[in-house]
Amino acid sequence: MDTAKLFVHKLPHAADLPLPRYMSDDAAGMDILAALDEPVVLLPGNRTLIPTGLQMAVPRGCEVQIRPRSGLALKQGIAVLNSPGTVDADYRGEVKVIIANLGREPFVITRGDRIAQMVLAKLTRADLAECEKLPDTARGKGGFGHTGV
Ligand SMILES: O=c1ccn([C@H]2C[C@H](O)[C@@H](COP(=O)(O)OP(=O)(O)OP(=O)(O)O)O2)c(=O)[nH]1
Ligand SMILES: [Mg+2]
């Protein structure tokens, strides 16, 4: 398995929190923690920005994706609104998570809660090449369910 060094800096409000970590041997994502001072009550239909207390230097050629946790999604309707959130390699601000409550009950987020997960992913940047005609394919313009359900 490939690994790459990911430098992280803990901000003072996360000083006592553990760093994100993989929760199983081959987990793709590290769970990330809410670096909140006070609990946040997120009402159904609302969204909020949760601090992680972390800055990071994502290696060039990679991104960090902020993704939901399926257990929270299934059991409580908790979503990462911009999923997958993108942390760019040149971003040095605090990483934050946009959490939305799509469930029917208020959702309480407390300091240290594992609210989402982060995946380090390699990326390919596009070098746009404008052209008059694209190569033909069998699918052509068919999409959005044109093959049926
Ligand atoms: O879930 C997220 C998404 C983004 N970011 C940070 C890192 C990212 O590099 C930066 C900008 O994100 P994005 O490009 O998605 O947002 P934008 O609305 O296009 O902002 P900008 O104009 O700053 O690029 O915000 C987070 O901390 N969490
Ligand atoms: Mg942007």
pTM: 0.96
Q: Residues enclosing ligand 1, CB less than 6 A?
A: 66, 82, 85-88, 91, 95-98
Q: Collapse the DSSP code of 70 into the 3-class scheme (helix H, G, I; strand E, B; otherwise coil) and give the result.
A: helix
The reply to whether ipTM tops 0.95 is: yes
pLDDT digit string (tens) for the chain, length 149 residues: 899 999 999 999 999 999 999 999 999 999 999 999 999 999 999 999 999 999 999 999 999 999 999 999 999 999 999 999 999 999 999 999 999 999 999 999 999 999 999 999 999 999 999 999 999 999 999 999 999 98
Kindly list the domain boundaries of the chain, sorted by start residue: 7-122
How much is the pLDDT for 1? 86
Closest ligand relative to 88 C-alpha? 1
Whether the ω angle into residue 84 lies within 30 degrees of 0, i.e. cis, is: yes
Beta bridge partners, 109, equal 40
Write down the residue that tokens 């601000």 correspond to: 93
Backbone angles phi, psi at 137, to 5 degrees: -140, 165
Q: Is residue 88 a known part of a binding site?
A: yes
- Domain 7-122: which topology? Deoxyuridine 5'-Triphosphate Nucleotidohydrolase; Chain A (2.70.40)
